[in-house]
Amino acid sequence: MRAYIKQQHLEQERLHLPTLRHTMEVLWLPYLDELAREIGCRPNLARLMLIDPTLAMSCYFGPAAAYQFRLEGPGKWTEARETVLTTWERIYYPLNKKRAEELAQKRTRSGYGSYLKILAVLLVLVAVCIMWFR
């Protein structure tokens, strides 16, 4: 345990300026992942991709939210799935004049369509690049 603490302290000194204030800083996302791994509540994205691809894509490509660590393991929360899927709505709601009902309708209409559109655009770009560099 002491060796681990020493290793973490040296890593923090390497990342930040050598002052007392900066050696106490921690990058929050790797820290959360490390804690979740030890506790056993880190979401398994491979399993999520098979069970619920929309949720897996939202966890992987969406903003990092603490709710993701409530999907599995101890402290599991039944509403965590819906909360993770509506993270962008809650981020943009204070910035937009649209009402919450309009945002909810937009989310329910999109489904896999937006992912398919992105995939189609990427495939077209790859095809154009292949044709261009021949």
Cβ atoms 33, 42 nearer than 8 A: yes
| pLDDT recorded at residue 22 | 63
- What does the mean pLDDT of the chain come to? 83
Tokens of 56: 């897996």
What is d(CA 104, CA 92) in angstroms, rounded to the nearest whole number? 12
| pLDDT recorded at residue 16 | 75
Tokens of 96: 């937009």
